[in-house]
């Protein structure tokens, strides 16, 4: 225990724990939006957008996180501009944009002699590499996202149920839909820095899938997803520190095991 406490006193470890705790609370809220709005293809597009942002930041010696956030926001607004109907989840447009971003990333790496291994490090991520500004950005994003969900819960519920009905009730569907897409874009950029592309679903999607097994309402889904995400990120990070394993892999493994256990218990109970 004393060894763990001494490790947690180290600045990179302390910042990593704070960042993972915040991520565990707020990332699943964005995951609910991804699944309920059928935005899984867009999630892949945004992940590739971060890879393009990483290539550009390395090519021009720019900070990676702001560039990645900017690329993702541009992708979202371009998709919204080109696609009139948002009810189908932007599947085709997202696929086209994903191909475009990967092609651009490949060209940037070739033209500016960016080592592919440096860009592909984004596939793994590390909470220990975060700076104070990045932790602050993550905290602000988490607060804004949770506050938005709390104060606009009725509108969000209506949009999840049926966008046309919500529009007929006088709700500003396109505005709120845009806000949710922007939130998802920013969360994915931050998640890539924390966990990497290959393990991003450990906190974005799996907590929602676990919560959805027994959640009886949308409110329960949001609350349980965030609590499960907090549990996974906090104890997964501590487990990684104690066992000297990568935090991203440890959290992903814990997420998968918890999903398997909850799913099997629910299946056994329903028999």
Domains of the chain: 2-270 (1.10.3470.10)
How far apart (Å, rounded) are the C-alpha atoms in residues 38 and 93? 13
- What is the three-state SS of the chain? CHHHHHHHCCHHHHHHHHHHHHHHHHHHHHHHHHHHCCCHHHHHHHHHHHHHHHHHHHHHCCCHHHHHHHHHHHHHHHHHHHCCCCCCCCHHHHHHHHHHHHHHHHHHHHHCCCCHHHHHHHHCCCHHHCCHHHHHHHHHHHHHHHHHHHHCHHHHHHHHHCHHHHHHCCCCHHHHHHHHHHHHHHHHHHHHHHCCHHHCHHHHCHHHHHHHCCCCCHHHHHHHHHHHHHHHHHHHHHHHHHHCCCHHHHHHHHHHHHHHHHHHHHHHHHC
Q: For the residues 107-130, what does the mean pLDDT come to?
A: 81
pLDDT top residue among 240 and 82: 240
Average pLDDT taken over every residue of the chain: 88
Show Cβ contacts of residue 10 under 8 Å, excluding neighbours closer than 6 positions. Answer: none
Q: What pLDDT was estimated at residue 29?
A: 96
Using the predicted structure, report yes or no on whether residue 86 has a pLDDT greater than 70. no
**Confidence check: pLDDT of 88 > 70:** no
pLDDT in the model for residue 131 = 84
Q: Is the pLDDT of residue 84 over 70?
A: no
Q: pLDDT value at position 87?
A: 54
**For the segment 206-236, what is each residue's pLDDT rounded down to a tens digit?**
999 999 998 999 999 999 999 999 999 999 9
pLDDT score of 130 more than 60? yes
pLDDT in tens, 36-48: 998 888 888 898 8
Two tokens, residue 81: 């501009």
Express each pLDDT in 172-198 by its tens digit: 999 999 999 999 999 998 888 788 876
Across 115-144, average pLDDT: 83
Tell whether the model's pLDDT for residue 260 goes beyond 90: yes
Report pLDDT for 89: 59
């Amino acid at each position: 225990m004393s060894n763990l406490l001494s490790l947690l006193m180290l600045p990179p470890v302390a910042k990593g724990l704070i960042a993972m705790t915040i991520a565990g609370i707020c990332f699943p809220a964005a995951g609910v939006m991804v699944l309920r709005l059928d935005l899984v293809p867009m999630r892949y597009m945004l992940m590739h957008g971060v890879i393009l942002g990483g290539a550009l930041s390395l090519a021009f010696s720019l900070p990676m996180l702001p560039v990645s956030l900017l690329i993702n926001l541009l992708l979202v607004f371009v998709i919204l501009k080109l696609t009139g109907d948002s009810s189908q989840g932007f599947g085709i447009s997202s696929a086209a944009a994903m191909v475009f971003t990967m092609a651009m990333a490949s060209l940037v790496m070739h033209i500016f002699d960016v080592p592919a291994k440096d860009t592909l490090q984004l596939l793994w991520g590390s909470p220990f590499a975060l700076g104070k500004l990045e932790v602050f950005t993550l905290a602000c994003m988490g607060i804004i996202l949770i506050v938005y969900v709390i104060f606009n819960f009725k509108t969000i519920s209506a949009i999840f149920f049926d966008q046309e009905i919500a529009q007929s009730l006088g709700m500003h569907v396109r505005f709120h839909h845009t806000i949710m897409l922007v939130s998802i874009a920013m969360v994915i950029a931050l998640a890539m820095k924390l966990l990497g592309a290959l393990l991003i679903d450990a906190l974005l999607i799996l907590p929602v899938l676990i919560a959805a097994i027994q959640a009886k309402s949308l409110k329960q889904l949001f609350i349980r997803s965030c609590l499960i995400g907090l549990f996974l990120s906090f104890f997964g990070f501590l487990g990684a520190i104690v066992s000297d394993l990568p935090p991203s892999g440890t959290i992903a493994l814990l997420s998968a095991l918890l999903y398997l256990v909850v799913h099997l218990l629910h299946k056994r109970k329903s028999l």
